[in-house]
Chains A and B, each alone.
Chain A
Amino acid sequence: GQNIDQPTEMTATEGAIVQINCTYQTSGFNGLFWYQQHAGEAPTFLSYNVLDGLEEKGRFSSFLSRSKGYSYLLLKELQMKDSASYLCAVSRFSNDMRFGAGTRLTVKP
């Protein structure tokens, strides 16, 4: 089986830092992805981790611990436009990607 868990909702303040956690159990692992999805729109690719550690990409960073089945997405200097859902997804060996239910982030002024 496969479980991917992330918080349902989070709220943060403009200019602050927020960390969105994701835990997973999977048979087969070919990497962990984060996607951003604004309401009513398609998900867009944010980041990818396959080795343990931190990957930084501008205001966004993603961390992976394979032994713990754990990842987080870190968003710095939050902007109002960062209000969206953030989807954690695990790619298995066959490249089919399984998604968590998503974390809806609300950024307040």
Chain B
Amino acid sequence: GENVEQHPSTLSVQEGDSAVIKCTYSDSASNYFPWYKQELGKGPQLIIDIRSNVGEKKDQRIAVTLNKTAKHFSLHITETQPEDSAVYFCAATDSWGKLQFGAGTQVVVTP
């Protein structure tokens, strides 16, 4: 089945710097890759997603890149702000269309 690995597990950045989180997946049939942001005690919220027919997608300060050949995708946050502090999860669909999640990255943005 699908296995999603996410790195790093924690990431500390200075306000204004960029943050990059990387995920790898194992199922070559995966075709949908969402990223979720989860604040403490709340449910995850979708922040951006990408499909396998696209290599990059941007939404203001957030971008996602996908390398199908290498089976990895990354989240890029530019000009980080304190409100970007949260846990971020990547996910990939498995062969049955169900989402498999990475273990999460705790991002801390220090002023």
Indicate, yes or no, whether A interacts with B: no
